[in-house]
Structure 1
C-alpha cells in the first residue's frame, strides 16, 4: 500500500487548511509587531538606561521591556533594541513562511515528500538558532544582574532553567516529528519501488 494513499490524508488536508489560516494570521501579527515595536522604541523617552543596564534589569521576572521604557532609553539601547527586534521578527517570519509551505504541502495531500521535509528542516533549524541565541542572551543577562551594581534583585537561574527545559521539550518534539516525516518519505519511496 502506498503511504500517500492512507485514509487519514483527507483529515490531514482538512486540518492543515485551518492551520494555514492561523499561520497567515500569525504572520500578519508578527509583521505588525515588526513595524510597531521599533516605532515604540524610537519614540520612547530618552534617558541613561544602557544595554548592560537593561540586560541586568530585564532578567528579573517582574521587570519587562515596556516597564523600563518609562525610565528612558539611551540612544545606544534604542538602536540595539530596534536591530535586535528586527532580527528576531525577521527570523520568526522565516520560520512561519517555512511552516506555511509545509502546511501547503499537507493541504495538497503531499505529506511524505522531500519538499515537505525541506521546509520542516528549515523551520526547525531557524527555530534552533533562535532558541540558542535566546539562551545565550538570557545567560549573559543573568550574569549581568549579579555583576551590575545598583540593583536590589538578581536574575532567577531556576526561572531560566524552567524556560530552557520547556524550550528543549518543544525542540525535541519538533525533532521527533521531523524524523517521522523523513521516515515517511523513505517508506513512500520504498513503496513506489516495490510496486
Structure 2
C-alpha cells in the first residue's frame, strides 16, 4: 500500500514539475499581453468610436464586416475617451484577478511538486486560485452582459444571435466554475482525511 502511495506521489511530482514552468510562462505572457492591450487602448489617438460601437462589436456573433476579427477591429478603430476608460478598467480588473489566479495555481503546483498534496498549504493556494478565478469570470461576464444590454439599444435584427452567444459563454463559465468547485472540494476532503489519519496515528 505504501509503495503504491509513493508511486502516486512520484507521478504527482513529475506531472507538477512539467506544469510548473508552463504555468509560469502563461502567467508572464498573460501579464505582458494585458499591459500591451491596456497601452494600446490608452495611447492610441482619440477618435469617435464610442462605447455603443464597442458594445456592438464585442457582442457580435458573426464576423465584423471588413475586419478579420475583433482584435483587427480594435486595432483599426480610434476610441473616444469614454470607451478608452471603460475598456481600460475592464481589462485591468480582469487581468489582475486572472494573473492572481494563475499565480496561486502556480503555487499549488509548487506544493504538489514538493509532495504537499492534502495539507493546509496546498488547500490555501487552491482556495485563493479558485476565488480569484471566480472574480475574473465575474468581471468578464458582467462586462459582457453590460455590452449586450448596450447593444440592445441599437435595435439590431440579430439580437437573438447575440443572446445565444452570451448563453454559450455563460454555459462555459458555469462548467468551468463547477469543475473547479469539484477539484476544491476534493482537496478539502482529502486534507480533512489526511489530518484525521494523522491524529489517529
TM-score (norm 1): 0.89
**Pairing partner for 2:98 from 92, 95, 98:** 92
Q: Shift in Å at residue 116 of structure 1?
A: 0.7
| Aligned-partner Cα distance in 2 for 1:48–1:190 | 64
| Aligned-partner Cα distance in 2 for 1:142–1:86 | 20
| Aligned-partner Cα distance in 1 for 2:193–2:184 | 14
Change (3 A) 1:133 1:85: closer
Match of 2:80 in 1: 74
Figure out how many residues of one structure are paired with residues of the other and give that number.
192
Any gaps of 5 or more consecutive residues in structure 2?
Answer: 65-69
Question: For residues 1-195 of structure 1, what are the structure 2 equivalents within 5 Å?
Answer: 5-61=5-61, 62-63=63-64, 64-148=70-154, 153-154=158-159, 156-195=162-201
Deviations 1:21-52 (A, max 9, x none): 11110011012112211222234342212223
Contact 2:94/2:140, CA 8 A, preserved across alignment: no
Higher relative contact order (CA 8 A, sep 6+): 1
Contact 1:55/1:145, CA 8 A, preserved across alignment: yes
Q: Shift in Å at residue 13 of structure 1?
A: 0.4
Contact 1:16/1:107, CA 8 A, preserved across alignment: yes
Match of 2:67 in 1: none
Deviations 1:78-124 (A, max 9, x none): 22222322222211111111111101100000100011111111111
SS at structure 2 position matched to 1:56: helix
Root mean square deviation, CA, Å: 2.0
TM-score (norm 2): 0.86
